Amino acid sequence: MKQAIEKLLRTAWQEHRGQSLGAILGFILSVSMLLFGFWRTFFVVFCVLIGLWIGMKVDRGEDVLQNLRNFKFNEFHRWK
């Protein structure tokens, strides 16, 4: 029985990786909403997405700190 379940899961992951990942993430998201509430879960997901965005910028070789400095500087002078 254990081997059959392992084979099923392995096959599902290999042939339907996107669907499997989506189901896992949906399950985790729904359980966290039930346990912690919508806004706390939203905050965590938001922070994860910001971290992912920053990580993608770093992987591309962009200077994230300089971009933030430029953004702050430009926003400050826009309101003067």
* Residue boundaries of the structural domains of the chain: 1-36, 38-80
Q: Taking the chain, what is the end-to-end CA distance rounded to the nearest angstrom?
A: 70
What pLDDT does 69 receive? 74
What pLDDT does 31 receive? 95
Distance CA 66, CA 26 (A): 35
CA distances from 80 to 58, 75, 76 (A): 31, 9, 7
What pLDDT does 63 receive? 83
* Burial class of residue 63, CB neighbours in 10 A (0-12, 13-18, 19+): exposed
What is the value of pTM for the model shown? 0.64
Among candidates 60, 77, 61, which has minimal Cα distance to 69? 77
pLDDT tens for the 80 residues of the chain, in order: 889 999 988 998 889 888 888 899 999 999 999 999 999 999 999 999 999 988 888 888 888 777 777 766 655 555 55
